[in-house]
Amino acid sequence: MAAGSGEAQTTTPASDEQVLERFGYRQELKRSLGYFSAFALSFSVISVTTGLFANYGSGLQIGGPAFIWTWLIVGAGQFLVALVFAQLARQIPLSGYAYQWTRQLAGERLAWWAGWIMIVQFIAGMSGVCYAMANYLVPYLGLAQTNRNVVLTTVAILFTISLINHFGIRLASVVNDFSVVAEILGTVSIGLLLLAVALIRKTHPVSFLFSHPAQPSGLAYLPAFASSALMSAWTIGGFEAAANVAEETHMPQQRVPMAIILSELASVFLGFPVLIGFTLAIPSLAIASTHSTPLLYIMEHYFPPYVTDAAMLLVFVSIFACALANVTTLTRMVWAMARDGQLPASSWLARISVHKVPANAIWTVALIAAAFTSWAKVEVVITGICTLTMYIVYGIVVAAALWAASRKSKTENRAHPAGDLAPVSEPSAGPGTLQVSRTLCFAALVWILFLLAVISLPRSAWVNSIASAAAMGVGACWYFWGRPKKAADAGGARPGHDSRS
């Protein structure tokens, strides 16, 4: 594992601890992750495999084969966001990225909301990943694909990934490292093989990739095309997950930004050929559009059972690792807010176990995710809520970065008249020295607002908006009436102030 290799030891723990101390914190978690493990965590949270197997069918049904082009559009827009996040991760190497980054940029009040909404996002996302795996695992195990069996299997998966996380980041990162190989061998290899088979057999002409027979032509197709982007928008997100284990990564200022950028690019460029391969190989568009597991249907049409079973086993490993990485990411956010006294039962949630992980936070979010899954029971609802809240968080963080850059530029423009970057004395030195590109932040924010409109305005998405608003309402009750007065009053503190004291 990368964490145990020599390259992970090129810096002493004290240097990382000194950076942490500049932000008012002490080292509590175990630093054991290297370059590859940080990359693998972000890559596993994105998980091309999970996104395709969870939402390919709905995208195909809504937009027809042409929906696959949303992948490149979303990938380009998300790259802008990844660049902004990489700049912030280089300068704020703290776990709990949405909360901590926003806290340094715009203060405690907005930071609390960014953190709370991200918790909602990952609870929904983790549930969606486990539910997607259960949908394929239940028939794979020969069980009846009833709603009850899928939900019970989802809960069993949630328990298993929580148990692995309970025993430490090292074990969880080993599984994540292995999952990257499994994803390439499974989904990517099968997708490319199907592409070759489809081209050799001439199953469909290339023009099939631009078709949408069940939808109107011309500009009238745009609403359906936009709605079909949910799969791409849900999948190509989470690349910033490595930032949530910054306090468990050696040299996080160098490794976390690289993990963010590389995981986003790798997912886009590996995922698109897979999409083309599966789509060109569709035996019957009518069947695939309505099939509960369309990718399995496509594989079973071309490959013998033992090949399909082997491929699905690798797919299960990849999806399982995605769920595991989601737990890791989510619990670090909960822990980061709890150590600042920002959540209910903060002192309990912030406790670190003998395995150097926030065990109480792990089991708490597992129980909440299980209850959420039992309520939602529909994959498109679960992923819809996750996607909506994810882009709200992205919007808050990027808007805070743009505001901070513009404010700093106004005060320092006379000394630095030509720079696009908000001038700083020394990046990564600690609070008050942040440097972000205003142009990049503005472009990323425009993209996020556009995507939020696309995924929230259609009538079919209103249930996601209502559920997300309800979660924010619960958060508002705690924010205004439940939070300790000291935590609420800390909103006026300068960014970077340690609110624990």
Cα 391 to Cα 288: distance, rounded to the nearest angstrom: 29
Task: Answer whether residue 375 shows pLDDT above 70.
Answer: no
Asked whether the beta carbons of 62 and 389 are under 8 A apart, the reply is no
pLDDT category at 418 given cuts 50, 70, 90 is very low
pLDDT, mean of residues 81-105: 94
Cα 107 to Cα 101: distance, rounded to the nearest angstrom: 9
Question: Domain map of the chain by residue range?
Answer: 30-411+460-484
pLDDT category at 433 given cuts 50, 70, 90 is low
At residue 194, what is the residue type? L
CATH 3.30.2350.10 fits 30-411+460-484, yes or no: no
User: Which of these ranges, 43-57, 123-137, 424-438, has the smallest mean pLDDT?
Assistant: 424-438
User: Which has the closest alpha carbon to 98: 346, 392, 349, 361?
Assistant: 392
Dihedral sign for Cα 82, 88, 94, 99, please.
negative
Beta pairing partners, 421:
437
> In Å, how far are 25, 105, 251, 338, 390 from 19, measured between CA atoms?
9, 18, 10, 21, 28
- Cβ within 8 Å of residue 480, ≥6 positions away: none
- Cβ within 8 Å of residue 156, ≥6 positions away: none
Please state, for a pLDDT cut of 90, what percent of the chain lies above it.
43
Judged by DSSP in three states, 263 sits in helix
* Amino acid 47: pLDDT: 87
pLDDT, mean of residues 404-416: 63
Cα 383 to Cα 414: distance, rounded to the nearest angstrom: 47
* Amino acid 42: pLDDT: 93
pLDDT, mean of residues 495-501: 40
DSSP symbols for 9-32? GSS-HHHHHHHHHHTT----S---
User: Which of these ranges, 301-315, 373-387, 445-459, has the smallest mean pLDDT?
Assistant: 373-387
pLDDT category at 454 given cuts 50, 70, 90 is confident
Most confident of 56-60, 86-90, 172-176, 418-422: 86-90
* Amino acid 89: pLDDT: 94
Give the tens place of pLDDT for each residue, 160-215.
Answer: 999 999 998 888 888 888 888 777 777 888 899 999 999 999 999 999 999 998 78
pTM of the model: 0.85
Task: Answer whether residue 40 shows pLDDT above 80.
Answer: yes
Bigger pLDDT: 18 vs 243: 243
Instruction: Find how far residue 118's CA is from the centre of its chain.
Output: 10
Please identify which residue in the block is written with the tokens 């039992």. Answer: 374
* Amino acid 426: pLDDT: 38
User: Which has the closest alpha carbon to 121: 318, 347, 397, 360?
Assistant: 397
> In Å, how far are 60, 108, 399 from 444, measured between CA atoms?
27, 23, 9
Report H helices in 107-188: 108-140, 147-166, 169-183
Most confident of 97-106, 171-180, 227-236, 367-376: 97-106
Cα 125 to Cα 488: distance, rounded to the nearest angstrom: 29
* Amino acid 3: pLDDT: 43
Report H helices in 215-351: 222-227, 230-235, 252-280, 285-290, 294-302, 305-338, 346-349
Asked whether the beta carbons of 405 and 438 are under 8 A apart, the reply is yes
What is the chain's mean pLDDT, rounded? 83
Judged by DSSP in three states, 294 sits in helix
pLDDT category at 13 given cuts 50, 70, 90 is very low
pLDDT, mean of residues 407-422: 54
Bigger pLDDT: 374 vs 323: 323
Give the tens place of pLDDT for each residue, 51-69.
Answer: 888 789 889 998 999 999 9
Task: Answer whether residue 395 shows pLDDT above 70.
Answer: yes
* Amino acid 464: pLDDT: 66
Q: Residue 461 is encoded by which pair of tokens?
A: 């998405």
